[in-house]
Amino acid sequence: MASCILPPAQAVAKAGFAPTNAEPVLRSYNKLKWIVAAKRKKTCCVENPSPPPPPRNGEGEKKRRVWLAPPLLAGEGVGGRGFRHSNEDSEQGIMLLRTEQLTKDYGHVRALDRLDLTVAPGEVFGLLGPNGSGKSTALRLLLGFLQPTAGAAWIDGHHCWHDSVAARRRVAYLPGELRLYENMTGRQLIRFLGGLRQLKDGPDVERLARSLDIDLSRPIAELSSGMKRKVALLQVLLPRAPLLVLDEPTNTLDPTMRDELLTQLRRARDHGQAVLFSSHVLSEVERVCDRVGILQKGRLVHLQRMAELREERRIVAAFAGVVEELPNLPGLRRIERQQHRLTFEYAGPLPPLLAWLARQQVVDLGIEPLGLGAIYQRYYDVSRGEPPEGAHA
């Protein structure tokens, strides 16, 4: 066994070969190492990788073949065509979720168009868009429910279609259209779904059930839609999966439970879990998300970091006289000019702007955080046929 861990030349020498014989072997070994390293760097499909392979899933999976993605650092690969980048990603962590040109066609209809997306561990990412924009399709592709027409997605390095079981082991999913086994009680459902993940019954179930105010002993058929959603939420939160995928999770929840859900999501983020969720409700996305992507007709048209959005302001100023041109400040963008009134967005330090305003004959001034609504509105207008200014990078 000891010879196994020796460098090849020594191992060969120990085996009784002369050093002159060992050198070509060493050269071949180094060459082989180089080829393997180059292949690993280049390809996503690794034949017989040296670490123990993940459990087989049996779905389109070839024997002894594991579909792995090369690790991707935050910011790398983000910013494909078709969407505007507000900022560069800055975290230096390996991405938990990554899609590359992910595309899905239903017949002649393109439901999702070349989606490039990454989500880092501990990040809450919101997918926004009107009905039919491709949010649910994107989530269903990640879960391996749909086979991509083109492109691919990886969760924690596992291909979402070819290695779907390994990918799903790292995901807990709350469907948009929620359907539960009506012939079970809440507890039976949680036990059944937990069993499929090899989870043991623990105090977590009761604790979470109490915090979500669920009576698990009641048959699911007798629960209201809101209560059913809470049971489903419980089964999402329980496994502590690295990635939570939630399709419009606050549907049918009352305001108290909505707050509780958002609290749970923040708690999940604090535990290092990533959350990807779609929603129509901008306010809740603003409250909880780190980043937001806006989908429009299947394309990711805008990617927004919420921390930066919070720094941006929408300023409406009314002037007594003629308005000068706006100062040349970085981060200043004019939106509208109406006679003596200017509306503009500004992401930068306030003092230079306030100094400029002080030199003007300002009669009225309103400064408010920009908010997601303003961003979303741009694309909402686009859908009505008005091309937005600078909507696409």
Partner 1 sequence: MTGMLVRKSLRDVRTPLIVVALLLAGFECLWCKITERIAGELVPLLQQAPNDILGVLFQGPGQILRTLIGGERINLARAMDVLSIGYVHPLVQTLLCIWAIGRAGGAITGEIDRGTMELLLAQPVPRSRVVLAQLCVDLITIPILCLSLWVGTLLGAWLVSPIAPRAMASPLPVRLPAPQRPVSPEQLALDPLACGPALLNAAALLFAVSGYTLWLSARGRFRGRVLGIAVLLTLLQFLVNVIGQLWDVVGPLRPFTVFYYYQPQEMILSRDWFARPAVWLSLGVLVGVGTAGYFMALRVFCRRDLPAPL
Contact residues for partner 1, defined by CB under 8 A: 56-60, 136, 140, 143-147, 165-166, 168-169, 171-173, 175, 177-181, 183, 192-193, 195-198, 232
Q: How far apart are CA 6 and CA 281, in angstroms?
A: 61
Nearer to partner 1, 152 or 309 (CB): 152
Q: Rounded to the nearest whole angstrom, what is the least distance from the CB of residue 375 to partner 1 in the complex?
A: 28
Tokens for 161, please give them.
Answer: 């279609």
Nearer to partner 1, 7 or 60 (CB): 60
The DSSP bridge partners found for residue 244 are 172, 275
Q: Rounded to the nearest whole angstrom, what is the least distance from the CB of residue 115 to partner 1 in the complex?
A: 17
Q: How far apart are CA 366 and CA 183, in angstroms?
A: 57
Nearer to partner 1, 60 or 349 (CB): 60
**204, exposed or middle or buried, with CB in 10 Å at 0-12, 13-18, 19+?**
middle
Nearer to partner 1, 168 or 378 (CB): 168
Q: Rounded to the nearest whole angstrom, what is the least distance from the CB of residue 280 to partner 1 in the complex?
A: 17
Nearer to partner 1, 187 or 313 (CB): 187
Q: How far apart are CA 128 and CA 122, in angstroms?
A: 19
Q: Rounded to the nearest whole angstrom, what is the least distance from the CB of residue 192 to partner 1 in the complex?
A: 6
Nearer to partner 1, 190 or 342 (CB): 190
The SS3 of residue 333 is: strand
Give the CA distances from residue 219 to residues 180, 187, 249, 278, in Å, rounded to whole numbers and listed in that order: 11, 9, 22, 29
Contacts of 202 (CB under 8 A, 6+ apart): none
**281, exposed or middle or buried, with CB in 10 Å at 0-12, 13-18, 19+?**
middle
Q: How far apart are CA 173 and CA 249, in angstroms?
A: 10
Residue 219 has, within 13 A of its CA and on its CB side, a CA count of 5
User: Which one, of 219, 67, 87, lies nearest residue 144 by Cα?
Assistant: 67
Q: Rounded to the nearest whole angstrom, what is the least distance from the CB of residue 108 to partner 1 in the complex?
A: 16
Nearer to partner 1, 104 or 299 (CB): 104
Contacts of 180 (CB under 8 A, 6+ apart): 189, 220, 228, 231, 232
Q: Rounded to the nearest whole angstrom, what is the least distance from the CB of residue 265 to partner 1 in the complex?
A: 18
Q: Rounded to the nearest whole angstrom, what is the least distance from the CB of residue 289 to partner 1 in the complex?
A: 22
Nearer to partner 1, 87 or 252 (CB): 252
Q: Rounded to the nearest whole angstrom, what is the least distance from the CB of residue 245 to partner 1 in the complex?
A: 8
Question: What distance separates the 2 farthest-apart alpha carbons in the chain?
Answer: 97
The amino acid at 349: P
